[in-house]
Amino acid sequence: MATELTPPVLPAPSLPIRTDRLVLRTVVAGDGAAIGAYCADPEVTRYLPFGPLDAEGLAGRMERLTAGTAPSLPGEILALAVEHDGVLAGDLMLRLAERHGPADPPSIAELGWVFAPEHAGRGFATEAARALVDLAFAHYPLHRLMARLDPRNLASARLCERLGMRLEAHTREDYPDRDGSWSDTAVYGLLRREWAAAS
């Protein structure tokens, strides 16, 4: 008799995480006002898959972020709110992606980040994303972390480089931009062995 193979359910990571200046915790409904403020800013969302968010768009994003506490399957996310001195500065996302087979946990995950402009330029995104990279490799059976971004998004590209990620590819006109044009994609990657060697 064939046995149905099911992937393991991965435990939720232990939160909050404290770094020198920040607290990383799960996103809660009460974060909606702060997240809504920076996600309504066209400068902030210029290179994001979503445009400036209206109330309905924000409700959808909040639903996804608040549900993102214990990913196990491809497409599921861990979402983190980043606080400095009790004020929400931004949010981070780890999205689980490819796995070998239906019985395996994902072994590739993708990083994402959005920070409020008033908290930019102080290294908060770097400090928070470093903690997420450490959590990703320490808690999940990943062998690769990646980030995909518009190559014109220089702040995000610099952040990838500060995290020790390598620019692996620049694909041309493969991303359907919101204005109807096709934009390029920069792919950054970090392998477990590279993370371990640097840790």
Ligand X SMILES: CC(C)(COP(=O)(O)OP(=O)(O)OC[C@H]1O[C@@H](n2cnc3c(N)ncnc32)[C@H](O)[C@@H]1OP(=O)(O)O)[C@@H](O)C(=O)NCCC(=O)NCCS
> Interface residues with ligand X (CB under 6 A)?
44, 47-48, 113-115, 120-126, 149, 153, 155-156, 158-159
Contacts 24+ apart (CB under 8 A), 138-141: 139/13, 140/10, 140/94, 140/96, 140/105, 140/106, 140/109, 141/105, 141/107
Question: In the complex, what is the shortest distance from the CB of residue 113 to ligand X, in angstroms, rounded to a whole number?
Answer: 5
Q: Which is nearer to ligand X, 10 or 149 (CB)?
A: 149
Q: Which residues contact 61 (CB under 8 A, 6 or more apart)?
A: 35, 39, 50, 53
Task: Give 10 or 77: the residue with its C-beta nearer to ligand X.
Answer: 77
The residue among 113 and 195 lying less far from ligand X, judged by its C-beta, is 113
User: CB-wise, 7 or 134, nearer to ligand X?
Assistant: 134
Shortest Cβ 175–ligand X spacing (Å): 11
**By C-alpha distance, which of 130, 58, 117, 115 is closest to 83?**
115
Least Å distance, CB 53 to ligand X, is: 12
**CB 104, min distance to ligand X, A:** 27
- Shortest distance in whole angstroms from residue 194 CB to ligand X: 20
* CA separation for the pair 183, 136 (Å, rounded): 29
Looking at residue 108, its amino acid is: I
Give the Å distances, CA to CA, from 107 to 68, 72, 82, 99, 120: 18, 11, 25, 5, 31
Q: Based on CB atoms, which residue is closest to ligand X, 86 or 101?
A: 86
Q: Which two tokens stand for residue 9?
A: 């359910």
Nearer to ligand X, 8 or 176 (CB): 176
Closest residue to ligand X, Cβ-based? 123
Output the smallest distance, CB 20 to ligand X, in A: 9
Helix boundaries (H) for the chain: 32-39, 42-45, 55-67, 124-139, 154-162, 192-198
